[in-house]
Structure 1
Amino acid sequence: MQAAELFEQKIKLREVARRLRVSRKSAYQWHQLWRDGGATALASRGPSGSRCRLSPRCLEKLAAYLEQGPASHGWVEDQVWTAARVATLIGRKFHVSYSVSGATRLMHRLGFSPQVPARRVAERDEQAVTAWKEATWEEVKEPGRPVEGTSASRTRRASLAGRPKDAPGADAVAPRS
């Protein structure tokens, strides 16, 4: 309750905001709450947002399901828990709908992190891909920029011929030959 202590000491709200590293608006809102209800009005009301829709028992079951791995729940193509898969699993097992971002937060709460599967075709022939890169790619790729040094600018230097003799700095620049 640092804010309440600072308010009691009659420290300016601008200084309270600076010391507590909050916006002035927050300091003014807190001061209003403190004036109306004292230090108890500044007590935390807990985390914001919606409450968890799964009971503690269901959370324990979900953690156990996640420990079993995706293959034991029907995802056999890879051993990756994505947030979308977890949301689907929650719907199947607990009949509760979770968004992908909600499933991500729930996974973090349980100590898991969603993973992104590698997007590779199962039938991919690595030898054929390597052979194509070595034989065909060099023929079909477009040429890049020339190797010699080039200018980063596409503009040309201004011509001194069209410049008035009395222009600022005209006498400082020697004409090119």
Structure 2
Amino acid sequence: MKKQDVRSLSAKAQEALRIRAVQAVLSGRTQLAVADMFGISRQSLSKWLKAYRAHGFNALKAKPRGRPTGGTLKPWQAAQIVKAIKDRHPNQLTLPFYLWTRDAVCQLIENRFGIQLSVWTIGRYLKRWGFSPQKPVRRAYEKNDTVVQQWLTGKYPAIRHQAKQEKATIYWGDEMGLRSDANVGRSYSPRGKTPVFPGTGQRFGCNMISAITNHGQLNFMVFKGSFNSQIFLSYLKRLTKQAKQKVFLIIDRHPVHRSGTVKTWLDNNSEKISVFFLPGYSPELNPDEMLNQDVKSNAIGKRRPHNQNEMIKDIRNFLFRRQKQPQVVKNYFKEQFVKYAA
């Protein structure tokens, strides 16, 4: 079908088209089929879906055209916003954000002054005010670079060769604890000054186990309580049941992974699964860490859940979406330290 120029439609017609296209995808149709059905580009449809997932159908509604009234900040207003970002955290100002992102600053300005600014304008303001997005980097002192090199040049290539011989699929697995008071993602702060965020008295959390392949497959389990051998075995049983081929699972050396109970089960199910261990203190070698960061930043990092059940629901919904986006999962393997596993 010939693509139509959406810009030639009225604002209301554009709004109706966006909503109908997104609803069609939500009903189960593929993005390619929907784009062809409505005569729109896949890029436009992808942008509308992203807006819907972030802010719901309100994000698809028509907005007044042209520059918003009062679309610039006066010096005294800018000074107030800078002081607020430096002295306070979003939750202290009743904003539904963990960190000072451009969206958070947008909402702060609108709440205080009734001025609507785009995230791009906010980005320019933040740069002008001397703010930059920052994130700390950590490295374990116990890490052995020689062992890492042996993994990259010897052990992993051997695992990959063995997987081909046995017609097995290589999964990269990990587990992660999530807390309501965790600082994730990046927050704007004055250059050279790392932002520090205090905890809250009302803390809650949950845990998740996941495994991904470089073909875009994703398997996960979100649960309450501590990670132990029974939880891990429950996940392994689910993984081997859902996998179409033998599973080669690469994980870290967590004590639960090496417990006697787990070893016994693995020995009794060696025709279904084999487990291999990464070098110690080297999480950057595990592509599943990219999924962990994605969950932290985009499932719980942008909006604060109010209780444990809401947190679990948000995480599960996010992971279900990622299961339907194999290309996104494949892209995790393009990161610098995990390209070797692509």
Could you say which structure has the higher strand fraction? 2
TM-score normalised per structure 2: 0.23
Higher relative contact order (CA 8 A, sep 6+): 2
TM-score normalised per structure 1: 0.41
